[in-house]
Amino acid sequence: MVHENHMQTSSGASRGHPWLWVLLLLSAAFLVFLFYRGLIDPDEGRYSEIPREMVSSGKWMEMRLLGVRYYEKPPLAYWITAIPIQLFGCKDWAVRIPLLPAALALALAGFLITLRGWGREQGFAATFIATTVFGLFFAMSMAIPDSYLSLWFAATCALLFYAFAPNAETFRRWACILGAAFFVFLGTMTKGIIAVVLPAGILFFWLLWERRMKVLWTIPTLAAVFFFVALIVPVVWQLEKHNPGFTKFFFVDEHLSRFTGTRAEQVHDEPPWFFLTTLPLLLVPWTLFLFRTIRTMIAKRVLSYDTVSRFLLVWVVVVIGFFSASSGKLMSYIMPSLLPLGLLIGRWGVAEPLDGTRADHRLWMLGFIPLLIIVFLLPVAWMLGWLGFFSGSLAVPSLLSALPILLAVIVAVIILSRGSHAFADAGILVAVFYISMAILLSPLAGKDLNAKLYRNSAITFRELASQLRPDDRVVMMYHYKPSVAFYTQQIPVLYILDNEMRYGMDAEPGLLTRAANRDELVALIGRGTGRWFGVVEHDDMDHFVENGFDTNAPVLTSNSDLKIVDLSAGQR
């Protein structure tokens, strides 16, 4: 019974009323992720504030954060974000407008890669799974360079696959390889030379595996190299002209020294197996389908005949292997590997019809049952939060946020009661899971839950901005929260705070107002004409008292993570 149900659903994966509702719910969830939540500090705050300063100063060729030079990334993602800021103003929803077409284009790239070898229906199923792994679904709503890099990377790989596919026509090879060179340029302008090295490695090892290395050494390949050089050289020259020292800092310190661990200050130092421990989280809710994927590919000897699967597997291994060898690691580094890995899981782990064996059925259920468990855990976690079991680590959620969770539970109960489950059921569970998560991460869940759950103090910073007068100043105390600059549209004073902006502060000393101790800050307050507001985390209140500040100072606004204190009171 289970076998037949699954077979029928997977063969009609791209049509039918259940999929219409699934896609509508997922679209609604993604739009909430995109446009109805605040900026997450420090990443989204940083990559929104830099474009804001470009627009404010009118100097789009200069990369500055809080007024000082910031060279850790090339400017393409900043320029993309600056355009909607210029058009719509400093709104957090505005900075994410370009992410909507980027996410759709990423899904299209995944579908086109699979369409050639797997067909429309299996390509749809694989693309659905790939784009709904949490690491990709949520990350494509984040205003960070990695989101755009994932698109450029996917477009590059899709074009390289078509350019060097067996029996590719001459015109198609020329068009695709030159198009790939253009997307490599975009990737380099977004994140650096990994956009060159990694696709080249994927192409090399794929063709080596297929014993077709001769097709690499052709005139179109050479033309693509010259095309890329012709694009990148004048742009880098202009960037160096407007940002002195950028070329050395970015390509030497941020690439070579970070990779080898020879930077003066190495960050994100993790062991080689770091990504193997984070992948299960990034692949939620499809993680356990990976076991069926492996079994199916081995049992059916997929890699012996399917060039699409070979290409995707090389893509995954090259990306994860490269960053595993690096001394600095972050979860976002392997975002470009999630699309191909999700495509493999979708094709061979989820949508592949059952082969009739007990082992295959068990593996499919091993992947499916956690979807039900995740949905049933949502109300448990919500109820524990409501009852205060997470006091101190998580705020109480609003009653409104329980409604989509209740819907998710009802859907899960209906699916569970049917006894037989299929690919469409998995899609429905994922859709209701995401709409529940979207509401929990939105202002509808309450500003305190926002602040505690994912470091989002947007509501509080908006309240601060609404009460600021032209001569008022904001002080960022102890901890780095660049989104406060975005929401208040002013560069704050830094108090006992030294971080990633050290290069820019050393290059242009005195450009950013800082206070190293209480006396210096009191002197600044005394020379000012307006009010001074300090942004202080609750965890830093001991430091606040030790530094001699009045704990009874008026609080303008607060949330479960921080408070905005009127530093002017009692200091004059």
Strands 473-477 vs 493-495: parallel, antiparallel or unpaired: parallel
Q: Are residues 510 and 409 in the same domain?
A: no
Burial of 342 (0-12, 13-18, 19+ CB in 10 A): buried
Contacts of 40 (CB under 8 A, 6+ apart): 142, 454, 455, 456, 483
Domain for residue 259, yes or no?
yes
Provide the domain limits for residue 554: 458-566
HSE of 558, CA atoms in CB hemisphere, 13 A:
11
Q: What is the distance between the alpha carbons of residues 19 and 33, in angstroms, rounded to a whole number?
A: 21
Residue 49 inside a domain? The answer is: no
Q: Residue 212 is encoded by which pair of tokens?
A: 């077709």
Tell me if 162 is assigned to some domain.
Answer: yes
Whether residues 488 and 401 share a domain: the answer is no
Q: Are residues 446 and 503 in the same domain?
A: no
Share of the chain above pLDDT 70, in %: 93
Residue with tokens 């101790």: 517
279 in the same domain as 136: yes
Per-residue model confidence (pLDDT) at position 268: 64
Helix axes 423-440, 358-386, angle to 10 degrees: 20
37-94 pLDDT tens trace: 999 999 999 999 999 999 999 999 999 999 999 998 999 999 999 999 999 999 999 9
DSSP per-residue string spanning 227-274: HHHHHHHHHHHHHHHHSTTHHHIIIIIIIIIHHHT-SSS--SB--TTH
Residue tagged 């994140």 (tokens): 191
Which of 418, 421, 434, 449 lies closest to 559, judged by CA?
Answer: 449
State the DSSP H helix or E strand holding residue 485, giving kind and residue range, or none if neither. helix 483-488
Residue at 83 is within a domain: no
Q: Are residues 291 and 144 in the same domain?
A: yes
Please indicate, yes or no, whether residues 538 and 471 belong to a single structural domain of this protein: yes
89 in any annotated domain: no
Report how far residue 464's alpha carbon sits from residue 462's, in angstroms, rounded to the nearest whole number: 5
Q: Annotate 376-388 with three-state secondary structure.
A: HHHHHHHHHHHCC
| Tokens 């950028």 belong to residue | 246
As for how many domains the chain has, the answer is: 3
Structure tokens at 267: 């960050």
Q: Are residues 206 and 246 in the same domain?
A: yes
Same domain, yes or no: 423 and 464: no
Rounded distance between C-alpha atoms, residue 98 and residue 81, angstroms: 7
**CB-side neighbour CA atoms (13 Å) of 3:** 8
> What is the per-residue pLDDT for 320?
96
Confidence (pLDDT) at 113: 93
Question: Distance (Å, rounded) from C-alpha 452 to C-alpha 41?
Answer: 12
How many residues in total does the chain contain? Answer: 572
**Residues 67/69/74/77 CA torsion (nearest 10 deg):** -10
Distance in angstroms (rounded) separating the CA atoms of residues 484 and 481: 6
CA separation for the pair 48, 50 (Å, rounded): 6
- CA 51 to chain centroid, in Å, comes to 18
| Domain end (from 454, 479, 494) | 454
pLDDT at 12 (0 to 100): 44
Last residue of a domain, one of 407, 425, 454: 454
Q: Is residue 446 part of a domain?
A: yes
- pLDDT tens for each residue of 211-249: 999 999 999 999 999 999 999 999 999 999 999 999 888
| In-domain check, residue 510 | yes
467 and 534 both lie in a single domain: yes
Asked if 434 and 547 sit in the same domain, the reply is no
pTM of the predicted model as reported, rounded to 2 decimal places: 0.92
Q: By three-state DSSP, how is residue 559 classified?
A: coil
- How far apart CA 2 and CA 422 sit, in angstroms, is 8
Are the beta carbons of 68 and 505 closer than 8 angstroms? Answer: yes
| pLDDT per residue of the chain (572 residues) written in tens, 0 to 9 | 334 444 333 434 444 567 888 999 999 999 999 999 999 999 999 999 999 999 999 999 999 999 999 998 999 999 999 999 999 999 999 999 999 999 999 999 999 999 988 999 999 999 999 999 999 999 999 999 999 999 999 999 999 999 999 888 889 999 999 999 999 999 999 999 999 999 999 999 999 999 999 999 999 999 999 999 999 999 999 999 999 999 888 887 776 766 665 555 656 677 889 999 999 999 999 999 999 999 999 999 999 999 999 999 999 999 999 999 987 788 889 999 999 999 999 999 998 999 999 999 999 999 999 999 999 999 998 888 888 776 666 678 888 889 999 999 999 999 888 876 788 889 999 999 999 999 988 988 888 888 877 788 999 999 999 999 999 999 999 998 999 999 999 999 999 987 788 888 888 888 888 999 999 999 999 888 899 999 999 889 888 888 888 878 899 999 988 999 999 875 54
Q: Establish if 158 belongs to a structural domain.
A: yes
> Are 470 and 559 members of one domain?
yes
Distance separating alpha carbons of residues 454 and 448, to the nearest angstrom: 10
Q: Are residues 392 and 313 in the same domain?
A: no
Q: 271 preceded by cis ω (within 30°)?
A: no
Domain final residue, candidates 422, 454, 486? 454
Count of CA atoms in the C-beta half-sphere (13 A) of 165: 22
